């Protein structure tokens, strides 16, 4: 049985409602969780930057090997070398935070540029850009990265530049499609007819009002992907090297101790990866639903 009910008075102005009534609960949960994760990541980055950690992440402590969580001083326990896991997790964020930001800034700026030019100008320019983006898109990202690593050095920044570039097609296509959609609805034509400057039309009407949601989502998803990439590479041994902590290499080195029954040193960073990426993805998802106004008429 599905129940529908209404109050005696009809809601007049929807936009004046408090946000918890306006949007679907699930979206609010997603966004809430996502924002929490972002806050934690940001906080951890700052803590790591100034080294305000509970323990030295490199400090080996042979008496406290493999301590389980909530042992004395060590909130999340210690790993196989007696190092504090919590501090290592916090430090691990250094490995991907700035590089991730680099990657998404490259994707977004490149994507916006190409997308706007292709969508707005159309014609031959659009065809050329489409070919170009398809070309970049068809490169297997991981292979490209390994090539870069082999050719240069396993520097996470180089890797993130590659990731940024390979992320451009997705953004560019999304923006170009959005512009095409708006053009179909006479939107752009009406703005031109009014006499608005091209610059204004693009920045204000297209990007700010209409592509906002799109870009935020690409940014959050991009960050999630960057984290995944960095941790995967570190896991494989191409990224951050021991004893520097990265969630990826923590998982890797902790794996050796699984057979002994010590799951925690590997599981802790794995869970961190899981929950963090989930946070970014859900944030993107939730924001998408909220910003794109997906409520029914």
Partner 1 sequence: MNQPLLKIENLRTYFYSRSKHSFVRAVDGVSLEVGQRETVGVVGESGSGKSITAMSVMGLISTGPGVIGGSIHFASARVQKNLLEGLHKCVKVEEQDGRVMAVSKDERGWQKTAERLMRDLRGKEIAMIFQNPRASLNPYITVGEQITEAVRLHTANKSVREARERAVYWLERVKIDSPRLRFNSYPSALSGGMCQRAMIAMALSSEPSLLIADEPTTGLDATIQSKIVDLMEELKSETGISTLLISHDISVISRLSDRVAVMYGGAVVEYGPAQRVLDMGAATKHPYTAALLASVPSAQQIRDKANLQAIEGDVLDTINVPPGCRFYARCNQVTPAVREKCATHQPELQEVAPGHQMRCWRYAVPA
Partner 2 sequence: MSRTILEVKQMSKHYRRHHGVFSTFNRRADSIAAVDNVSFYLRENETMGLVGESGCGKTTVGRTILRLTKPTSGNVIFDGRDITHLSDSELRPLRKDMQLIFQDLDAGLNPKMRVEDILSEAISVHERVSDAEVKVKSHMLLDQVNLKYSKLTSYPAELSGGEKRRVGIARVLAVGAKLIVADEPTSALDVSIQAQVVNLLRDLQKQLGLSYLFISHDLQVVELMSDKVAVMYLGRIVEMGLTARIADAARHPYTYILWSSLVEKHNREAAPTGKIDRRAAWGVFDFERPASGCRFAPRCPVYEQRGRPAACTDPENEPQLRDVGEGHQVACHFPL
Give the Cβ contact number of residue 262 at 10 Å.
18
| Residues 183/202, Cβ–Cβ less than 8 Å | no
If binding is defined by CB under 8 A, does position 22 make contact with partner 2? no
Report the run of H or E that residue 250 belongs to, with start and end. helix 247-255
If binding is defined by CB under 8 A, does position 183 make contact with partner 2? no
| Residues 66/77, Cβ–Cβ less than 8 Å | yes
* Nearest Cα to Cα of residue 190 among 176, 205, 209, 203: 205
Find the length of the chain: 297
d(CA 222, CA 105): 9
Among positions 63-122, residues that touch partner 1 (CB under 8 A) are none
Cβ 212 to partner 1 shortest distance, Å: 20
Nearer to partner 1, 21 or 124 (CB): 21
Instruction: Convert residues 266-295 into a mask of x (bound to partner 1 by CB under 8 A) and - (unbound).
Output: -----------------------------x
Size of the site for partner 1 (CB under 8 A): 15
| 140, 144, 149, 150: CA torsion to nearest 10 | 110
Q: What backbone torsions phi and psi does residue 84 show, to the nearest 5 degrees?
A: -65, 125
Q: Which of 138, 140, 151, 296 binds partner 1 (CB under 8 A)?
A: 296
If binding is defined by CB under 8 A, does position 116 make contact with partner 2? no
The entry of partner 1, partner 2, none that residue 185 binds, CB within 5 to 8 Å by partner kind: partner 2
Contact segment (CB under 8 A) with partner 2 among 68-76, 107-115, 140-148, 194-202 equals 194-202
Contact segment (CB under 8 A) with partner 2 among 3-11, 40-48, 188-196, 232-240 equals 188-196
Contacts of 177 (CB under 8 A, 6+ apart): 119
* Nearest Cα to Cα of residue 270 among 297, 283, 252, 292: 252
Could you tell me the end-to-end alpha-carbon distance of the chain, in angstroms, rounded to an integer? 23
Size of the site for partner 2 (CB under 8 A): 20
Cβ 236 to partner 2 shortest distance, Å: 44
The entry of partner 1, partner 2, none that residue 7 binds, CB within 5 to 8 Å by partner kind: partner 1
Among positions 11-40, residues that touch partner 1 (CB under 8 A) are 11, 14, 22
Q: Which of 149, 191, 202, 250 binds partner 2 (CB under 8 A)?
A: 191
d(CA 146, CA 1): 56
Cβ 60 to partner 2 shortest distance, Å: 56
**Residue that has been written with the tokens 């999340």 in this structure:** 76
Interface contacts to partner 2, rule CB under 8 A: 13-15, 185-187, 189-198, 205, 209-210, 293
List interacting residues with partner 1 (CB under 8 A): 1-8, 10-11, 14, 22, 295-297
């Amino acid at each position: 049985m599905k129940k529908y009910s209404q109050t005696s008075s009809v809601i007049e102005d929807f936009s004046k409602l408090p946000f918890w009534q306006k949007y679907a609960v699930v979206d609010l949960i997603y966004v809430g969780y996502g924002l929490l994760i972002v806050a934690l990541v940001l906080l951890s980055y700052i803590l790591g930057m100034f080294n305000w950690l509970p323990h030295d992440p490199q400090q080996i402590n042979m008496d406290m090997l493999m301590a389980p969580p909530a042992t004395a001083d060590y909130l999340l326990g210690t790993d196989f070398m007696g190092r504090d896991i919590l501090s290592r997790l916090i430090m691990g964020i250094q490995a991907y935070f700035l590089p991730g930001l680099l990657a998404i800034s490259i994707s977004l700026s490149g994507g916006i540029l190409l997308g706007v030019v292709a969508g707005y100008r159309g014609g031959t320019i659009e065809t050329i850009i489409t070919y170009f983006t398809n070309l970049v898109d068809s490169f297997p990202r991981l292979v490209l990265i390994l090539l870069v690593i082999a050719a240069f050095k396993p520097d996470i920044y180089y890797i993130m530049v590659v990731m940024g570039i390979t992320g451009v097609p997705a953004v560019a296509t999304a923006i170009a499609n959005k512009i095409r959609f708006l053009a179909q609805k006479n939107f752009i034509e009406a703005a031109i007819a009014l006499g608005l400057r091209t610059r204004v039309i693009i920045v204000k009407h297209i990007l700010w009002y209409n592509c906002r949601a799109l870009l935020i989502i690409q940014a959050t998803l991009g960050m999630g992907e960057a984290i995944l990439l960095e941790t995967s590479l570190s896991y494989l041994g191409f990224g951050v090297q021991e004893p520097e902590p990265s969630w990826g290499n923590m998982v890797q080195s902790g794996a050796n101790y699984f057979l002994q029954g010590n799951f925690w040193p590997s599981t802790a960073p794995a869970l961190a990866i899981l929950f963090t990426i989930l946070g970014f993805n859900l944030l993107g998802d939730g924001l998408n639903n909220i910003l794109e106004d997906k409520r029914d008429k």
